[in-house]
Homo-oligomer: A and B are copies of this chain.
Amino acid sequence: MGQSVTARVLRVLAAFSAERPELMLTEIGRRAELPLTTAHRIVGELTEWGALERAADGRYRIGLRLWEVGALAPRGLGLRESAMPFLEDLYAVTKQNVQLAVLDGNEVVYLERLSGRGAVHVFTRVGGRLPLHATGVGLVLLAFATPELQEQVLASPLKRYTSKTICHPDELRRALAEVRRTGVAVSEGQIELVSLSVAAPVRGPDGDVVAALSVVVPAGSADARAYVPVVLTAARGISRVLGCPD
């Protein structure tokens, strides 16, 4: 099963990560758990097609061709394309970090981030994943997710990241109810200790939540709630462009 060629090809691709975006053939073989010879052949074919590229020093990295194909993901580029103008406006007005994320499995995946030069530095990275309970966008996405997913997350251990991280199921349940009631998540404590985030849901053509939008502001700044109206407005704007009835 883990022996099919297709699976091996995917394991080769999965060998690359944000921490190690350039690998030697040997490393690919080790990470993908493939014999060197097999890795060599697969990598060769991937390179020929453009899914991988060789750097000047002979190491391999993800190629532009794969980036292009990945850009076709409707939940990637499509969403991003529609949302971009609103994110730019939001950034222009607030000069803070603006983020767009979607739900995948039981995690948040960040699609886009506009970060001001002067704004708080955040750990998130475009293409990165974080657990649902620890971020503003995660709370929003979870609040409007299927009951099954909510139960699954509530039943699983909630890892603590900061002193403000929601770690208890009851606490999380209350937070989710609050999000559903108000339509926004004003969550204290992102991954960073010194930031607040204001997040709101983005809805698709069927009226269901397809993404979440957030602004991350320094904890020291003015009342975070002051950002609620602009964030909500931007989120509704994107929803409208996506064809949300409402």
From B42, B49, B127, A77 is in contact (CB under 8 Å) with: B127
CB distance from A149 to the nearest CB of B (A): 16
Complex: A79 Cα to B28 Cα, angstroms: 23
What class of interface size applies to chain A in its complex with B? Answer: 35 or more
**Within residues 26 to 44 of chain A, which ones have a CB less than 8 A from any CB in chain B?**
41-42
Contacts of A127 in B (CB 8 A): 67-68, 71-72, 77
| Cβ B84 vs Cβ A114 within 8 A | yes
Known contacts A6-B9, A6-B45; A66 and B74 CB within 8 A of each other: no
Contact at B72–A17, with CB atoms within 8 Å?
Answer: yes
Q: Is the CB of A68 within 8 A of B70?
A: yes
What residues make up the interface of A, taking CB atoms closer than 8 Å to B?
A: 4-7, 9-10, 13-14, 16-18, 21-22, 41-42, 45-46, 49-51, 53, 55, 61-78, 80-81, 84-85, 88, 91-92, 102, 104, 109, 114-115, 117, 126-127, 129
